A and B are shown apart, each in its own frame.
Chain A
Amino acid sequence: MNSPRPFLYIRNLTIRFPGPNGPTEVVRGLDLTVYPGESVALVGESGSGKSVTARALIGLAGTYADVKADVFEINGEDVLQYRERDWRRLRGSKIGFVLQDALVSLDPLRRIGQQLSDAFGERQDLPAKYDRSLDILQSVGIKDPERRLSQYPHQLSGGLRQRALIATAIAQQPSLVIADEPTTALDVTVQRQVLDLLKQRQRAGNTLLIISHDLSVVSQLADQVLVMRNGEVVEQGKTAEVLSGPSHPYTRQLLDAIPTASSRGYRLSPVALEHSDEISLIAPAAAPNVRIALPQKQIDAGRHVLVVDRLQKRYGRSTTGPLAVNNVSFELAAGEALGIVGESGSGKTTVAKMVLGLVDPDAGNVWINGQPWSRMDESQRRPHRAGIQLIAQDSLSSFDPRYNVEKLIGESLDAVGIFGDNRRRRVLEVLDAVRLGPTFLNRHPRELSGGQRQRVAIARAFAPRPQLLVADEPVSALDVSIQAQVLDLLAELQAEFGASLLFISHDLGVVHHLTDKVIVMKAGQVVESGDVEKVFAGPRHSYTQELLAARPSLN
């Protein structure tokens, strides 16, 4: 058989980093072959070694990385002999690289045009660069390229920004584009646009290596998939085959972790987490297809914990400016979970701030337990604040870095007057509820993994036994597998303590999995609301239909 020459040909790749206890191997024995025109995906959770592998392909694994391989060929050249100068020749011209979130992956202080000009390298003269810039921007679907060239990344919408980032990566028409989590943390419609753009390029015969933690994203694009875990490839094969019949239990777990309509009422992670320092997914060898049911919720439909009545809020201090929140009303019964879905800028976080009593509405009311919460003075509100708790997206920045876990959780008990031995008992109790042992009491936020931090945030929120939890994108920054554990915990604890949950997310799958009711927000207004099953099964508003169509699904 006369097969074409592979663009990437790697055998037994090992990457080590020096550490205080000797070198640690982050990638072990990886084989990777990518032919021109092919799309290959590396899938795994953070720490699986997928990103450092991608970086090693452009010689940017890091100053202290020790990269070894039996064979490491790019475009037929042995790159093990490469020096920095050779790598620079390769970057941009042979391999383009796309990172996640263009808001931070493009230089925020330079115009799009200047950055494209940098991305063209030093070979072309300026007028040629200008013409090429216009072409490139048009080729990624940017309509008015002249105007965009003179703008800064923060002035572009999320979708345009991500397109501009891709434009810089393909500026020199590289043979291979590596996309490292290109859609993570993006709104679902923006994600759709980016996936469509990549798909379009793939159809045109471009070679793509996509890195992701999310199998549903990968299923849209890749011909081949490699599942990585702890630095090793545990499974590889044709995407359709791996997705329909995974042979390794870990792949099964990754598939089960994706929240969908069919996962409602069931656990996403395989077994209850054991107390452990490290998050370790224990793969059950037997019966991988059996889902474990979540505990039943007790919903008291007659008792409304939260009533939001025709809320309005304008931006800034103006009285004539645009409305951030326009006539939003909903109710939340005791023990119930309500999801708010919408893109960034739709006003969902502003609603949350008004519910939390951090921002006062311009018009309308927030009632909590029948009391006019939004009309109270701060001094009247304060005694009731412990009953309403927040779980934020980024708990690293919402935790005081100097506090340890005991103080972080204990602080929330000040308001309910629990001190001394009782406090310690309560802290241990909620830590136990989120499957963290007493050894965590003295840890500081920086010493926790992303999933552990979010578990501490949940423990802190439940510690004062709140009636109402407000969770603002609590799992958006997490990998699918960690997200599964956190969502399971949240569902379990909500059922156990009977708290009501206001759950804000841009991820429709998560909302569908977790909540009972949903409201869909667009530009400050509620466009659709109701029972989550009904709304998602038969969306009436075109925007809801658009959102549902945009989400990637396994197929």
Chain B
Amino acid sequence: MTLDNPAFIDELPLGSPSRIVRFRHSLWSRVLGRVGSGVVVLWAAVTLSFASLQIAPGNIVNLLVGDQLPTPEVEAAIRAEWGLDEPLIVQYLRYLWRILHGDFGRSYVLQSDVTSLILSQLWPTLKLTSAALVVAIVFAVTAAVLTAGRRWPRRLASAAELVLVSTPSFWLGIVLLFVFSFTLKLFPVAGDKNFSSLVLPALSLGLSLGAVVSQVLRQGLENALEEPFALTVRSWGCSDLTLRLRHCLRHASLPAVTLTGWLVGGLLSGAVITEQVFGRPGLGKVTVDAVLGKDLPVVLAVAIFSALIYVVLSTLVDLLYLFLDPRLRTRNR
């Protein structure tokens, strides 16, 4: 059936003030809605982390202390910090209040503030994931744009992508280390000193991500190239590359953006292994150490923090959609 509604919208005086106001209104209410639901998700994550502490078997003090033997002083400090002598609801509100102020408590294993610990490790991880994201996007866009709809290049690229997707990133990391660091000595073996030390970890993390995104992007490009508008653009005398880059890529990027958003969230857990292989500092390493050392305050903080990252990413993806497809901006449903 034909939809009456969009056609009707067309009949409104276009560009009239009411239309613009409505557009802004719907855009802002959408952004506010997204932020609101993000806040709910974060609150749920915080509450779950608090509940898990209460439900876990054993004494909370022992849980929070981790691997160490609790001395009376430490025990007293924990009791004071968490308000363990007070009723459960007060403890919970206190916990919420603290986290609202960016205070994730103290790690008794590492003898430091969890917040400053995480913030100090955040930068190396962000550096690694954004570098991996750049690798992934460059790889995906290049591979998809150059091979979409072309029989043999397409087959070759698909095969290469399949290999990359099915290769575990740590193994790819080891191979890259062996070839480029040990044999060719082009890049450092480990550490996080300069840009060149970022290249191999970013490749090992980003290539498999790029391979997945590239497959979706290529499919989208091929669909777009079959659309009637592609024929129109060609009939203007535009080159094939112009058609692909200026017109079709935007159409193809809609599903790819969603996928990338989710995968980037997953990179944080993927980063754990890569950081280990390349001996880099970062959140992944902190998480592993905390889990092994039963350092519960850090583990809880990491859990809440990853919820935050997913919320931010999915909000960004939604807004990117509005940016990419103008048709979504004016529809109310």
Contact = CB atoms under 8 A, between A and B. Distances in A.
Contact of B235 (A89, A96, A345): A96
Contacts of B5: 315-316, 324
A156 B1 contact: no
A152 B23 CA distance: 14
Interface stretch (A29-37, A105-113, A443-451, A529-537): A105-113
Nearest to B227: A104
Interface stretch (A125-133, A211-219, A346-354): A346-354
Given A99-B228, A147-B15, A345-B11, A107 B247 contact: yes
B4 A104 contact: no
Interface in B4-51: 4-8, 10-11, 14-15
A92 B237 contact: yes
Given A92-B235, A92-B236, A109-B250, A156 B4 contact: no
Q: Which among A108, A109, A119, A152 has the greatest number of chain B C-beta atoms within 10 A?
A: A109
A151 interface: yes
Interface string A77-111: 00000001000111111011101110011111110
Contacts of B239: 88
Contacts of B14: 147, 151, 155-156
B123 interface: no
A392 interface: yes
A169 interface: yes
Contacts of A169: 235
Given A345-B4, A345-B7, A472-B2, A91 B237 contact: yes
Given A104-B229, A118-B242, A158 B236 contact: no
A121 B229 contact: no
Contacts of A84: 240
Nearest to A154: B327
A177 to B, nearest CB: 10
A393 interface: yes
Interface of B is mostly: helix
Given A99-B231, A104-B227, A353-B1, A109 B251 contact: yes
A184 to B, nearest CB: 12
Nearest to B224: A107
- Which of B4, B227, B247: most chain A CB closer than 10 A? B4
A168 interface: yes
A158 B234 contact: no
A352 B8 CA distance: 17
A322 B10 contact: no
A368 B269 CA distance: 61
A60 B231 CA distance: 8
A344 interface: yes
Nearest to B6: A154
A172 B250 CA distance: 26
A352 B1 contact: yes
A157 interface: yes
Given A156-B10, A393-B2, A118 B233 contact: yes
Contacts of B167: none
Interface in A12-47: none
Given A96-B235, A154-B327, A108 B229 contact: yes
B184 interface: no
Nearest to A161: B10
B235 A60 contact: yes
A158 B10 contact: yes
B246 A151 contact: no
Contacts of A499: none
A242 interface: no
Contacts of A158: 7, 10
A165 interface: yes
A89 B237 CA distance: 6
Given A151-B15, A392-B1, A165 B232 contact: yes
B325 interface: yes
Given A107-B229, A345-B8, A118 B236 contact: yes
A316 B4 CA distance: 11
Given A104-B228, A352-B1, A344 B7 contact: yes
Interface string B245-261: 01100110000000000
Interface centre among A89, A92, A344, A352 (most CB of B within 10 A): A344
Contacts of A96: 235
Interface string A335-348: 00000000011010
B236 A472 contact: no
Contacts of A434: none
Contacts of A135: none
B237 A105 contact: no
A258 interface: no
B229 A106 contact: yes
Nearest to A93: B237
A171 interface: yes
Contacts of A331: none
Interface string B307-330: 000000000000000001111001
A58 interface: yes
Contact of A101 (B228, B233, B234, B251): B228
Nearest to B19: A155
A523 B10 CA distance: 12
A309 interface: no
A315 B8 contact: yes
B238 interface: yes
Contact of B324 (A55, A109, A156): A109
A345 B237 contact: no
A502 to B, nearest CB: 13
Nearest to B240: A84
Given A104-B227, A147-B15, A97 B232 contact: yes
Interface in B276-316: none
A472 B8 contact: no
Interface in B208-249: 227-229, 231-240, 242, 246-247
A473 interface: yes
Nearest to A472: B1
B10 A91 contact: no
Interface of B: 1-8, 10-11, 14-15, 227-229, 231-240, 242, 246-247, 250-251, 324-327, 330, 332-333
17 contacts: A91-B236, A91-B237, A97-B231, A101-B228, A106-B229, A118-B246, A155-B330, A168-B232, A168-B236, A316-B333, A345-B7, A345-B8, A347-B4, A349-B2, A349-B3, A349-B4, A472-B2
Given A147-B15, A345-B7, 16 more contacts: A55-B231, A97-B232, A104-B227, A104-B228, A107-B247, A108-B326, A109-B324, A152-B326, A154-B10, A157-B10, A168-B236, A171-B236, A344-B2, A349-B1, A349-B2, A350-B4
